[in-house]
Amino acid sequence: MLKRHWKTLLVSSVIVILSGIIVALLIFMKNQPPEKRGITALIEIANMEADSALWGVNFPNQYTTYLKTETNNQRTTYGGSEPFSKLDEDTRLVELFAGNPFSIDYKEDRGHRNALTDVRETKRLNDKTPASCYSCKTSDTPALWAEMGVENFSATTFKDMSYRIDQPIGCANCHEANTMRLIVTNPALDEALKKQGKNWQSFTRQEMRTLVCANCHVEYYFQGDKKVLTFPWENGTHIEDIEQYYNDYGFSDWQHKTSGAAMIKIQHPEYEMFTAGSTHFNAGVACADCHMPYTRDGSAKFSSHDVKSPLFSPAQSCGTCHTDVNYVVERVKIIQDSVHTTLLATEDALVAAIQAISQAASYASVDKAKLEEARKLHRAAQVRWDFVAAENSMGFHNPEEALRILAAATDLARQAQIKAIEAMNLQVSK
């Protein structure tokens, strides 16, 4: 009897002890700090750290692909990142930019890692060039803007700012340190979005994978005496909206040496062109989907930071969505050939307009009001042409928009030519 009781006692005790251990373990686990999301950083990165090599310690895959933008510069049919001279390729450009530094030096852009070298070596610089020209060429700017304030930064000359800057475009131009969140780092972009009633903090990650490119790949100008970098987006981002903004503001980049028109030089408006109802943008595709496709190195899968033309990686860039990559590459060629042919016709029309205006201006009997109208038409035509010409995709980012704009540009250029002839005040010979 005692023996039987002893056994029951033993089993009960074991159960009680085990239950206690389990409860204690559960309480212990519940009180552990929550596991950190994401990856564990090897080193801490300072806020707005300019040196991408430090970020690279934590993100070696992204960093090593980013390094390739320094040396991996090749040419595509209409672009790429080989620094060929656009002026040698197409001598009309010398006439179109007469009086503007772009008529002296206009090279194809190289990869991100070369931006600082290239901006320092361009022949477009002079002693008055403002520090604003550094805005998009270095990862030093976010910290400098925070330290100096944008106005003081802009009011400094390029030359005087040079000793504070030694990094090319890098991690800090698009990422928040440590969280690696994609962020707007350019105050001009933040300001331009605010004026449109938009707040990028509410954008989705996929939207940010396009918007961070707009930190730089946009049309801009330097506003006022302090040369503050500004995006002309108050009316919208279509070329007509931008033109209206510049006209209302009375802005011009330079006076055309031959036609005398007050001109606008457009700069790489990739973001504006792509987001103007393009098929890819409307389908939810981001810049990074094509230009920074997911890639593999061994077992690691990451977004390539060797940002370049998708024509170098169609399988990765296009193949994620399109099953027939050869077909897609052929379409790029068809589209770009059409846009290129149309672009050159616009240039011929612009050159003819410039010559007619110059001829009209040489006549003592010229109708000055009509001459001025002709110059305004020249400005309107060339700002449209340049919106397509300076945009780095030969129309592919938005084929219908590019061709629509070029058709209008040619029309306006020919109207400028006709108005110049009218201004000559010619008479029917008796």
Instruction: Determine contact, residues 402/388, Cβ cutoff 8 Å.
Output: yes
Tell which residue, 94, 392, 413, has the closest CA to residue 268.
Answer: 392
Q: Which is nearer to its own copies, 131 or 311 (CB)?
A: 311
**400 is an interface residue for its own copies by CB under 8 A:** yes
- Choose one: 86-94, 230-238, 242-250, 394-402; the region binding its own copies (CB under 8 A): 394-402
- Choose one: 57-65, 296-304, 382-390, 398-406; the region binding its own copies (CB under 8 A): 398-406
**414 is an interface residue for its own copies by CB under 8 A:** yes
- Choose one: 88-96, 175-183, 263-271, 400-408; the region binding its own copies (CB under 8 A): 400-408
- Min dist CB 354 to its own copies, Å, is 14
In the list 49, 190, 253, 401, the residue contacting its own copies (rule: CB under 8 A) is 401
Instruction: Determine contact, residues 78/394, Cβ cutoff 8 Å.
Output: yes
In the list 52, 81, 173, 417, the residue contacting its own copies (rule: CB under 8 A) is 417
Determine the size of the site formed for its own copies (CB under 8 A). Answer: 41
Extract the tokens encoding 152: 């003081």
The CA distance from 301 to 362, in Å, is 65
- Min dist CB 330 to its own copies, Å, is 7
In the list 279, 294, 321, 368, the residue contacting its own copies (rule: CB under 8 A) is 279
Q: Which is nearer to its own copies, 51 or 95 (CB)?
A: 95
Q: What are the E-state strand segments in 220-304?
A: 221-223, 228-230, 254-255, 262-263, 294-297, 300-303
The CA distance from 430 to 427, in Å, is 9
Residues of this chain, 326-365, that bind its own copies according to CB under 8 A = 327, 330-331, 334-335, 338-339, 341-342, 345-346, 349, 363, 365
Q: What is the DSSP track for 27-77?
A: HHHHTSPPPPSSPPPSS---TT---HHHHHHH-HHHHHHHHHHHH---B-S
CB atoms within 10 A of CB 314: 18
Residues of this chain, 51-110, that bind its own copies according to CB under 8 A = none
SS3 223: strand
Residue 145 pairs in a beta bridge with none
The CA distance from 201 to 184, in Å, is 9
Residues of this chain, 26-45, that bind its own copies according to CB under 8 A = none
SS3 228: strand
Gyration radius from the chain CA atoms: 29
Give me the sign of the Cα torsion angle 372, 375, 381, 383: negative
Which amino acid is located at 282 in the chain? N
**426 is an interface residue for its own copies by CB under 8 A:** yes
Tell which residue, 346, 384, 357, 375, has the closest CA to residue 265.
Answer: 384
Q: Which is nearer to its own copies, 288 or 350 (CB)?
A: 350
**403 is an interface residue for its own copies by CB under 8 A:** yes
Which amino acid is located at 414 in the chain? R
**428 is an interface residue for its own copies by CB under 8 A:** yes
**183 is an interface residue for its own copies by CB under 8 A:** no
In the list 324, 374, 379, 419, the residue contacting its own copies (rule: CB under 8 A) is 324
Q: Which is nearer to its own copies, 335 or 380 (CB)?
A: 335
- Choose one: 86-94, 198-206, 277-285, 375-383; the region binding its own copies (CB under 8 A): 277-285
What phi and psi, each to the nearest 5 degrees, are found at residue 311? -65, -15
Tell which residue, 370, 384, 129, 416, has the closest CA to residue 240.
Answer: 384
Tell which residue, 296, 271, 302, 421, has the closest CA to residue 359.
Answer: 421
**269 is an interface residue for its own copies by CB under 8 A:** no
**314 is an interface residue for its own copies by CB under 8 A:** no
**297 is an interface residue for its own copies by CB under 8 A:** no
- Min dist CB 189 to its own copies, Å, is 26
- Min dist CB 242 to its own copies, Å, is 18
- Choose one: 80-88, 156-164, 259-267, 419-427; the region binding its own copies (CB under 8 A): 419-427
Residue 301 pairs in a beta bridge with 296
Instruction: Determine contact, residues 253/221, Cβ cutoff 8 Å.
Output: yes
Q: Which is nearer to its own copies, 64 or 282 (CB)?
A: 282
H or E segment to which residue 24 belongs:
helix 2-30
Q: Which is nearer to its own copies, 148 or 345 (CB)?
A: 345
**321 is an interface residue for its own copies by CB under 8 A:** no
- Enumerate binding residues for its own copies (CB under 8 A): 277, 279, 282-283, 324, 327, 330-331, 334-335, 338-339, 341-342, 345-346, 349, 363, 365, 399-401, 403-404, 406-408, 410-411, 414-415, 417-418, 421, 424-430
